[in-house]
């Protein structure tokens, strides 16, 4: 048994292909409802189908494996205004995101608060939280928070943007 503080290298250090990383633990989550209020007119709309998306969450440090949420959700159509919408999952992840809010919040804090470069933040997320996020994805998150609404102008994170990103993720 190694003593406390003894250096043990990460068993996955040096792995360069995502396929070689440990397989994720699957956790099932459901946002599957018979009826939901229409976001357009408030009418109670029946569900007519179900879909599934995968979200990468913070991993399991005991087993050392990543963790994926398999989220099934209902799709609804409003009979009053014909609007199609899905059950609300915004508590778990932003729309179209492959990662949970938890992961995005961690990543943004590593860069904005701790000042880690994107590549170092990516490695840190894998080593200490068992979630694989390409560094370019982290960069996109940080820049989206800092540069939103300013087109393709990508230089340094503005102070205003930094505060906005942090405010967003401190609430969680």
79: contact with Zn ion by CB under 5 A: no
Among 10, 40, 44, 63, binds Zn ion (CB under 5 A): 40
Angle in degrees, CA 76, 171, 32, rounded to 5: 20
Span from 4-12, 13-21, 30-38, 125-133 in contact with Zn ion (CB under 5 A): 30-38
Residue 38 CB, nearest approach to Zn ion (Å):
3
Among 12, 21, 29, 43, binds Zn ion (CB under 5 A): 43
76: contact with Zn ion by CB under 5 A: no
Query: Between residues 45 and 131, which has the closer beta carbon with respect to Zn ion?
Result: 45
* Residues 81, 45 contacting (CB under 8 angstroms): no
Span from 27-35, 36-44, 130-138, 148-156 in contact with Zn ion (CB under 5 A): 36-44
CA–CA gap between residue 97 and residue 145 (Å, rounded): 14
CA–CA gap between residue 29 and residue 26 (Å, rounded): 10
CA–CA gap between residue 10 and residue 16 (Å, rounded): 14
39: contact with Zn ion by CB under 5 A: no
Query: Between residues 40 and 134, which has the closer beta carbon with respect to Zn ion?
Result: 40
Look up residue 99 and give its DSSP letter. B
41: contact with Zn ion by CB under 5 A: yes
CA–CA gap between residue 42 and residue 16 (Å, rounded): 49
38: contact with Zn ion by CB under 5 A: yes
Span from 29-37, 46-54, 71-79, 97-105 in contact with Zn ion (CB under 5 A): 71-79
* Cβ neighbourhood burial of 55 (10 Å; 0-12, 13-18, 19+): buried
Tokens 């694989």: give the residue: 132
CA proximity to 25, closest of 75, 53, 60: 60
Residue 46 CB, nearest approach to Zn ion (Å):
12
Binding-site ranges for Zn ion (CB under 5 A): 38, 40-41, 43, 78, 80-81, 83
């Amino acid at each position: 048994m190694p003593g406390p503080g003894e250096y043990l290298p990460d068993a996955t250090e040096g792995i360069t292909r995502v396929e070689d990383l440990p397989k994720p633990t699957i956790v099932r989550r459901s946002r599957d409802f018979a009826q939901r209020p229409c976001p357009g007119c408030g009418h109670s709309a029946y569900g007519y189908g179900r879909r599934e998306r995968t979200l990468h969450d913070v991993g399991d440090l005991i087993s050392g494996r990543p963790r994926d949420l398999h989220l099934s959700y209902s799709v609804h159509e409003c009979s009053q205004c014909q609007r199609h919408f899905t059950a609300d999952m915004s508590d778990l992840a932003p729309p179209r995101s492959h990662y949970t809010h938890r992961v995005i919040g961690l990543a943004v804090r590593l860069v904005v608060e701790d000042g880690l470069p994107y590549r170092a933040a990516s490695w840190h997320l894998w080593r200490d939280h068992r979630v694989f996020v390409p560094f370019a994805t982290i960069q996109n998150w940080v820049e989206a928070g800092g540069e939103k609404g300013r087109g393709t102008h990508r230089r340094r994170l503005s102070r205003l943007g930094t505060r906005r990103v942090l405010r967003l993720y401190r609430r969680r």
